[in-house]
Structure 1
C-alpha cells in the first residue's frame, strides 16, 4: 500500500507531513505504513489520504 501512496505523493510533489496535515491524520499513520509496522489502514484514513492527494480511492487498488 505504501508504494502506491508514495507514487501519488511523488507525482503530486507532496511530503508525508503535507499529506498528513491536509488529510487531518497523524503523520504516524503514514510512517507506520512506510516502515512496515502496519500493512493495513482504516478505510476512513485511506479516504482522507485520497482526498488530500486529490485522487480516487481506485488509485490505491
Structure 2
C-alpha cells in the first residue's frame, strides 16, 4: 500500500512532513508505514482523505509484471 501512497505523493508533490500535517498523524507513524508497518483502517482513511483518493484507489497496487493486484 505504501507504494501507491508514495506514487500519489510524488504526483501531488506532497512530502511525508506535509502528509503528516494533512492527516494529523505523527511524522514517525508515517515513516513507520514507509518502512513496512501495517496501517490501521482509521489511518488509511485519513491518508486517503488527505490525498483526495478513495480507499479502493489506495489499496490497488500494480504488480511488478504490470497486472493489477486482486486484493
Which TM bucket (shorter chain)?
Answer: 0.7 to 0.9
Q: Match of 1:10, SS? A: helix
Off by >2 Å, runs of 4+ in structure 1: none
Give the number of the structure whose residues are more often helix, by fraction.
Answer: 1
Q: CA RMSD in A?
A: 1.0
Distance 1:60 1:54 in 2: 10
Could you say which residue in structure 1 is the equivalent of 2:8? 8
Distance 2:58 2:52 in 1: 12
- Number of equivalent positions: 59
Over alpha carbons, which structure has the higher Rg?
2
Q: Which runs of 5+ in 1 are unaligned?
A: none
Shift of 1:16: 0.5
Question: What TM-score do you get using the length of structure 1 for normalisation?
Answer: 0.86
Could you say which residue in structure 2 is the equivalent of 1:41? 39
